């Protein structure tokens, strides 16, 4: 009953629009105050121990990489390069949208960053080339879901820390699922454009194509630096994040893609976002301590096992629960609340932690596309100057390929565990 009251208080505070970190922390502090065996010293120790994690240092660094990539206008260069590749294919701007999102996700690690960068460019560009505003924003929003899955993903780092698994393996686990999402969206573009000859973009000349592709070569060195360093044993993920950050800053300044004022803005945005994420992380660590002390993970595992012994049924129930939760909480906040409870249950069913992590992150990320919170919806609307009803109208059909990708990722574990297994 204590756990139920804490969770009820948490959701009431969230419904009252209390900031997530305080909504998590306040019920925990009341719990501590009412327990004579606990002191504020223990609270402070638990809050500090949550952040006393070397892998978490990578979070602000990868956030910096994403903001610097955005401030340097690298998304626009990726789009032009994709157009050079897809040429005069019918629906080429749609394919370019998905391809550029894949490229940008190697640096952003965030759905909102991808949506902001791509929405501002692709939303307007696609509307100028006979695409409806709803389709353009819907596709851009769905393609932004590649960001939290494709490494370097901030959500993947948070999950790895909470689940006490390897950040490197968690990064590798997201690669194939990210391409599954990309392929499903390309099929969606093909279905939409197959009978619309007007959705054909002007083909670039050979010279224009060569220039466009040449400009993205130094940009695409970023994932090479990150994963070449990690897999080659030269860097830890945290060190790779710092090297990638310095590389992109130097690239932006040397090529003059990024004015100094843009760099300052990127640094300020990084500080603001990092502060918010870390504050939520400390509160989540306290909640995990309270739940563990009350035996919530054990009780939840016993209740689920008494309900069903089949892991497939458990995964169906988990998907439904996470999709609903994702409608109200952003992925990082939801992971901090759910991983301490779900992880022991998944282990009882023999589900690999890497597979579980990808499932949870994808489910919660899709929640960014659904009201009432739907942060990506608002980012897309503002970035592309599209009315919210049109944004939602475009998102609804795009949820179908995302749902198919989710089913494949959920029930084909090799998609998540295959590459990490080969790398070991």
pLDDT in tens, 372-411: 667 788 778 777 777 878 888 889 999 999 999 999 999 9
Mean pLDDT over 239-256 rounds to: 89
Distances (CA, A) of 149 to 100, 185, 394: 15, 15, 22
HSE (CB half, 13 Å, CA atoms) of 47?
16
- Per residue in 112-153, pLDDT (tens digit) is 778 877 877 777 778 777 888 788 888 998 998 998 899 888
CA-CA-CA-CA dihedral for 157, 162, 165, 168, to nearest 10: 0
Give the list of residues 6+ apart from residue 329 with CB closer than 8 angstroms, or none. Answer: 14, 20, 337, 364, 367, 373
pLDDT at residue number 415: 95
Cα–Cα dist 202/200, whole Å: 7
Buried b (16+ CB within 10 A) or exposed e, 88-104: ebbbbbbbbbbbbbbbb
Cα–Cα dist 217/235, whole Å: 22
pLDDT at residue number 356: 95
Give the list of residues 6+ apart from residue 326 with CB closer than 8 angstroms, or none. Answer: 334, 363, 364, 365, 366, 367, 368, 370
Question: At 268, is the pLDDT very low, low, confident or very high (cuts 50, 70, 90)?
Answer: very high
Question: At 202, is the pLDDT very low, low, confident or very high (cuts 50, 70, 90)?
Answer: low
pLDDT at residue number 401: 95
- Per residue in 48-83, pLDDT (tens digit) is 776 777 677 788 888 888 888 888 888 788 888 887
pLDDT at 328 over 80: no
| DSSP summary character for residue 41 | H
pLDDT at residue number 400: 94
pLDDT: is 52 or 353 the higher one?
A: 353
What is the sign, positive or negative, of the torsion defined by CA atoms of 101, 103, 104, 108? positive
Domain positions in the chain = 55-281+296-423
Cα–Cα dist 266/24, whole Å: 28
pTM for this model (two decimals): 0.84
Provide the β-strand partners of residue 90: 200
The mean of the pLDDT values for the chain is: 84
Mean pLDDT over 236-265 rounds to: 88
∠ Cα 357 359 363 (to 5°): 120
| DSSP summary character for residue 200 | B
pLDDT at 306 over 80: no
Cα–Cα dist 7/70, whole Å: 37
Task: Note the helical H segments in 145-205.
Answer: 146-149, 154-163, 167-173, 175-193
Cα–Cα dist 199/130, whole Å: 6
Q: Which has the closest alpha carbon to 216: 68, 62, 86, 75?
A: 75
């Amino acid at each position: 009953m204590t756990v139920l009251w804490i969770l009820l208080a948490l959701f009431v505070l969230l419904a009252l629009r209390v900031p997530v970190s305080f909504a998590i922390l306040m019920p925990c502090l009341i719990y501590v105050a009412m327990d004579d065996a606990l002191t504020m010293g223990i609270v402070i120790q638990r809050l500090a121990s949550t952040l006393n994690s070397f892998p978490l240092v990578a979070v602000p660094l990868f956030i910096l990489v994403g903001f610097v990539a955005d401030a340097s206008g690298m998304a626009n260069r990726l789009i032009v390069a994709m157009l050079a590749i897809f040429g005069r294919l019918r629906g080429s701007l749609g394919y370019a949208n998905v391809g550029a999102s894949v490229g940008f996700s190697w640096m952003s690690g965030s759905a909102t960053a991808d949506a902001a960068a791509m929405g501002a460019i692709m939303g307007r560009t696609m509307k100028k080339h006979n695409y409806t505003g709803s389709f353009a924003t819907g596709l851009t929003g769905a393609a932004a879901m590649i960001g939290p899955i494709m490494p370097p993903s901030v959500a993947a780092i948070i999950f790895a820390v909470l689940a006490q698994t390897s950040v490197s393996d968690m990064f590798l686990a997201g690669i194939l699922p990210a391409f599954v999402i990309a392929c499903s969206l390309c099929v969606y573009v093909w279905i939409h454009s197959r009978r619309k000859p007007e959705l054909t973009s002007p083909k670039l000349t050979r010279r224009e194509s060569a220039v466009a592709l040449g400009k993205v070569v130094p940009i695409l060195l970023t994932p090479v630096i990150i994963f070449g360093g990690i897999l080659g044993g030269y860097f830890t993920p945290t060190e790779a994040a710092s090297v990638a950050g310095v590389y992109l800053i130097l690239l932006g300044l040397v090529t003059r893609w990024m004015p100094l004022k843009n760099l300052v803005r990127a640094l300020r945005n990084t500080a603001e976002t990092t502060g918010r994420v870390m504050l939520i992380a400390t509160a989540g660590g306290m909640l995990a301590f309270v739940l563990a002390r009350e035996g919530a993970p054990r009780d939840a595992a016993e209740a689920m096992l008494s309900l069903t012994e089949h892991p497939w049924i458990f995964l169906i129930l988990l998907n439904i629960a996470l999709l609903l939760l994702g409608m109200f909480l952003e992925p990082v906040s939801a992971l901090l609340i759910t991983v301490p409870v779900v992880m022991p249950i998944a282990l009882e069913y023999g589900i690999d932690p890497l597979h579980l992590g990808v499932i949870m992150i994808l489910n919660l990320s899709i929640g960014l596309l659904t009201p009432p919170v739907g942060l990506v919806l608002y980012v897309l609307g503002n970035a592309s100057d599209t009315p919210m009803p049109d944004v939602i109208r475009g998102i609804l059909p795009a949820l179908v390929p995302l749902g198919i990708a989710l089913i494949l990722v959920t029930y084909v574990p090799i998609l998540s565990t295959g590459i990490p297994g080969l790398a070991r």
